[in-house]
Amino acid sequence: MTFSDLNLIEPLLQALHEEGYTQPTPIQEQAIPPVLNGDDILGCAQTGTGKTAAFSLPLLQRLHEAGPAHPAKAIRALILTPTRELALQIGESIAAYGRYTNIKHTVIFGGVGQTPQVEQIRRGVDILVATPGRLLDLMNQGLLSIKHLETFILDEADRMLDMGFIHDVRKVIAQIPAKRQTLLFSATMPQEIQKLSSSILHEPVYVEVTPVSSTAEKIAQKVYFVDKMAKRALLRHLLQDGDITRALVFSRTKHGADRIAKDLAKAGISAQAIHGDKAQSTRVKALTQFKNNELRALVATDIAARGIDVDDLTHVINIDLPNEPETYVHRIGRTGRAGAEGLALSFCDDTELPYLRDIERLTKQTIEVETDQPFHADYKKLPLTGGKSTDKIAKASNGGGNRSFRQPQAGRPQSSRKPNPSGSGGSGNASGGGNRDRRSGSGNGGGRRSGGR
């Protein structure tokens, strides 16, 4: 299938051609036709599957074909997203896909001055991409109105729940017209999101992409057993390899991310850290430098990395293993996109052995241990509870004997038409800032690149 097979208009097809996108991803194949038809959508999909194009392309087409806003300068579509980084990336995608349309858009978020954002809104925008806090702030000041909205898109609904934004989301929904098209996307479907979807969607078309475990199957993975105090030395050692041109490095803590970036810089390896305590302008600058190959390493915490979409990223390095196995799959899914090769390298100290066991149980894979490295520690993998042991315990793991572990969820069917939303399983609780994401693979076909963000 090609994008022209989805009945997209020529201005969008031309923009996609210039972006190098030839074939739609599965989520785009499933979502674009019903959105063009005016249906509501309940989508189970995660960033990296081409989800942004799945909703922004048909949105641009519907607005373009409908003509000017009524009344003039009214906001016609709202895309609500949990983080600044994801909002900015959605804005970039809309700008790229809509460059040959007459559709105007802007992005608003907190952490920066509101004046330029307000001025842009006053000049008139068709599509507003927003985070909940800044949106409600401007609405409460009487600086913007969403009472003429035609389309409402709620992106990463489960993440909204995790970050405590669900009440803000409900306040926004109370202000938009009852007659509208609504698209809701979520990586998981916890009970609170099921209730929300049931209350705001009308006979939705249900779309879903490949379940979480299959993403890990497409990416080469290795684990390095290393004592905690030697992790940064091992990272420096690995980045001396010229084959690692760019690496996204995940740290469990903000302080750890700063220390890692500073340590790499001292070793002559260009690196920056991004996390919630960094100014928004600093985070955007670091991400831009990383995308432009001006940095060898970008060190990020999980929340700060949410929504990062970097083309041709070859390596993801987990200097700390996450305590949620879904977060691991979400992290490594940032490499190996659109058919490209990717490698995920994870450091594991003795306290993290239970996390490694959880990851292998979720992905149904045994991750290869790389012993040919100067800091190798002689750990053995813990046996898998209720399954085949990967190895015998040779060294006790701190707290490893008293943990309780979740069973991995079975994958759901690929897609279905207008279901009962409560039929979707999943869990959306987060622990310690980790993402309980059911990461989805893009599953794209050939072509130079599939449908992108």
Residue 249 and residue 391 share a domain? yes
Q: What is the mean pLDDT of residues 13-27?
A: 88
Classify strands 415-416 and 205-208 as parallel, antiparallel or unpaired.
antiparallel
**Domain membership of residue 16 as a residue range:** 3-211+411-450
Residue 305 confidence (pLDDT): 65
Q: What is the mean pLDDT of residues 84-99?
A: 91
Residue 197 and residue 220 share a domain? no
Residue 74 confidence (pLDDT): 94
* Residue 380 pLDDT class (50, 70, 90 cuts): confident
Residue 431 and residue 380 share a domain? no
Residue 20 and residue 129 share a domain? yes
Q: What is the mean pLDDT of residues 336-345?
A: 72
Q: CB–CB of 413/26 below 8 Å?
A: no
Residue 221 and residue 204 share a domain? no
The mean of the pLDDT values for the chain is 81
Q: Last residue of some domain: 402, 421, 440?
A: 402
Residue 231 and residue 334 share a domain? yes
Residue 187 confidence (pLDDT): 82
- Between 13-17, 38-42, 143-147, 305-309, the lowest mean confidence (pLDDT) is in 305-309
Task: With a cut of 80, say whether residue 224 has pLDDT above it.
Answer: yes
Residue 242 and residue 184 share a domain? no
Residue 382 and residue 271 share a domain? yes
Residue 236 and residue 379 share a domain? yes
Residue 20 confidence (pLDDT): 80
Quick one: what percent of the chain has pLDDT higher than 70?
Answer: 79
- Between 113-127, 227-241, 244-258, 312-326, the lowest mean confidence (pLDDT) is in 312-326
Residue 172 and residue 129 share a domain? yes
Name which residue leads in pLDDT, 383 or 82.
82
Classify strands 220-225 and 368-369 as parallel, antiparallel or unpaired.
parallel
Q: φ and ψ at 366, to 5 degrees?
A: -100, 120
* Residue 370 pLDDT class (50, 70, 90 cuts): very high
Residue-wise over 9-44: b if at least 16 C-beta within 10 A, else e?
A: bebbbebbeebebbbbbbbbbbbbebbbeebbbbbb
Name which residue leads in pLDDT, 340 or 88.
88
For 37-147, where are the alpha helices, taking DSSP H only? 51-66, 84-97, 115-123, 132-140
Total number of domains in the chain = 2
Residue 331's closest CA among 198, 409, 434? Answer: 434
CATH number at residue 227: 3.40.50.300
For 115-249, where are the alpha helices, taking DSSP H only? 115-123, 132-140, 157-162, 166-173, 191-200, 212-217, 231-239
Residue 137 and residue 237 share a domain? no
* Residue 144 pLDDT class (50, 70, 90 cuts): very high
Residue 450 confidence (pLDDT): 45
Residue 206 and residue 221 share a domain? no
Q: What is the mean pLDDT of residues 207-235?
A: 83
Q: φ and ψ at 415, to 5 degrees?
A: -165, 160
* Residue 303 pLDDT class (50, 70, 90 cuts): low
